[in-house]
Chain A
């Protein structure tokens, strides 16, 4: 193991890790927003849109992220939309994650008894007030484990971003191996960098789950 080499390239990996973290976080936040809207559309049985959401969930969950990225990276320019790789990565992750997040939120929302909504409506709250103040907080507690599992899963999926020439961790490691044949060092750095991003996320998930279980329902 060549520690001097590792010390030399560390800043490179730091930059790549920041890119992985940045694009991953942006994609995951967008995915959560998509998921929330999707779940709301399913809950309120919005005509037409509800069908589109169901179809979208199936497509996004049953195609590989790599294929989705190629569609965005090579497909969008064909219809005149020029994009940079970072945008493609984030959009791809949001597309994939949106499907999973829709399912996670949907199952949480379904777990809230419809009488809870009726109770809120009978007090004179509007549909959206009932959703925000009564249904969503209870649904979030139920959805939390699935959502956090999705967050970790999606962060790991960023490793295919290198395929659309985003200089993320995976790209950097492959590049270094190709240039200098430093396979062992490069893989060690790669694993280490991913763990530094993902372990705190997993621990946060476990912590939140425990907190929410205590706050959980019981009318």
Chain B
């Protein structure tokens, strides 16, 4: 069995008195794509933010390839580079061009050679169909284009695992596919990914494993085939039904 890239053990996260994640354990192995689904407000995004140490945690531990990552830990920038994050609202830097957005972290934080990173960035931009946009500013791009740039930006830091936090939730419907196709391409090339999404057919296509998060914990963990055709729990059935529409007459 491949090695665990991400290992979460007994994670507990509270905001003041409110528990958001309760004794949660989860592993993502090398080359695996794990998709987290669940009702709104069940802590999916918070879980990703904990993995990237954007949130402090109240219990348990999170390890990336055996090394602990924590909000108040040592070498935090270095640890965070092992975890790539793509946000719901892209969070490109509006004052920098596409290529400058991508080069910033590799050149300033990783001290890599600008030319070398640039060549890599251009190749990735070409792969997502945005080579000619390298010198554009983010505001000149559509939502789907911005999100593809954000993915390239995260990739260029060479993370061990990529986190996707509802990356199509802010997009117009016709732009969803262009972004999801990029992510499916990454899965095919064996990137290790942890994805939060509300796009069920995408989840089914991309996932090696599906996790249903509800009421601060993992309720169900299964293969996509099993999850969508024969959900084990009542909650999973109810959750899946919420995506179906039917006229009562």
Residues of A within 8 A of B (CB): 115-116, 118-126, 129, 133-134, 137-138, 141, 215-219
* List of A residues within 8 angstroms of B77 by Cβ: 121, 124-126
Are B109 and A219 in touch, CB under 8 angstroms?
no
**Nearest-neighbor residue (CB-CB) of A217 within chain B:** B94
Q: Known contacts being A121-B77, A123-B154, A219-B92, is A129 close to B54, with CB within 8 Å?
A: no
Say whether B139 faces chain A, with CB atoms less than 8 Å apart: yes
Q: Among residues 136 to 193 in chain B, which have CB atoms less than 8 Å away from a CB atom of chain A?
A: 138-139, 146, 153-154, 157
Say whether B72 faces chain A, with CB atoms less than 8 Å apart: no
Q: Known contacts being A123-B154, A124-B110, is A215 close to B95, with CB within 8 Å?
A: yes
Quick one: which of A118, A121, A122, A125 contacts B108, CB cutoff 8 A?
Answer: A125
* List of A residues within 8 angstroms of B109 by Cβ: 123-126, 129
Are A133 and B91 in touch, CB under 8 angstroms?
no
* List of A residues within 8 angstroms of B93 by Cβ: 116, 119-120, 133-134, 138
* List of A residues within 8 angstroms of B139 by Cβ: 217-219
Nearest-CB distance from B68 to chain A (Å)? 17
Q: Known contacts being A118-B54, A122-B52, A125-B77, is A218 close to B94, with CB within 8 Å?
A: yes
Q: Known contacts being A217-B94, A217-B95, is A123 close to B105, with CB within 8 Å?
A: yes
**Nearest-neighbor residue (CB-CB) of A126 within chain B:** B77
- Complex-state Cα separation, A122 to B53, whole angstroms: 8
Main secondary structure on chain A at its contact with chain B? helix
User: Which residue of B80, B95, B139 has the most chain A CB atoms within 10 A of its CB atom?
Assistant: B95
Nearest-CB distance from B16 to chain A (Å)? 18
A123-B84, A125-B77 given; name 8 further pairs at CB < 8 Å.
Answer: A116-B93, A125-B104, A134-B93, A217-B95, A217-B139, A218-B139, A219-B92, A219-B94
Task: Please report the total number of B residues contacting A with Cβ < 8 Å.
Answer: 28
Say whether B227 faces chain A, with CB atoms less than 8 Å apart: no
Task: Name 22 interchain pairs, CB-CB below 8 A, sorted by A.
Answer: A119-B87, A119-B91, A119-B92, A120-B104, A121-B77, A122-B85, A123-B84, A124-B81, A124-B105, A124-B110, A125-B77, A125-B108, A129-B109, A138-B93, A216-B94, A217-B95, A217-B139, A218-B138, A219-B92, A219-B94, A219-B138, A219-B146
Nearest-CB distance from B206 to chain A (Å)? 21
Quick one: which of B54, B80, B92, B95 contacts A124, CB cutoff 8 A?
Answer: B80
Are A121 and B80 in touch, CB under 8 angstroms?
yes
Are B91 and A116 in touch, CB under 8 angstroms?
yes
Are B108 and A129 in touch, CB under 8 angstroms?
yes
Interface 1/0 per residue, B107-144 and A, CB below 8 Å: 01110000000000000000000000000001100000
- Complex-state Cα separation, A137 to B154, whole angstroms: 21
* List of A residues within 8 angstroms of B90 by Cβ: 219
- Complex-state Cα separation, A119 to B94, whole angstroms: 12
Nearest-CB distance from B54 to chain A (Å)? 5
Are A122 and B80 in touch, CB under 8 angstroms?
yes
* List of B residues within 8 angstroms of A118 by Cβ: 54, 87, 91
Say whether B225 faces chain A, with CB atoms less than 8 Å apart: no
* List of A residues within 8 angstroms of B92 by Cβ: 119, 219
- Complex-state Cα separation, A62 to B91, whole angstroms: 39
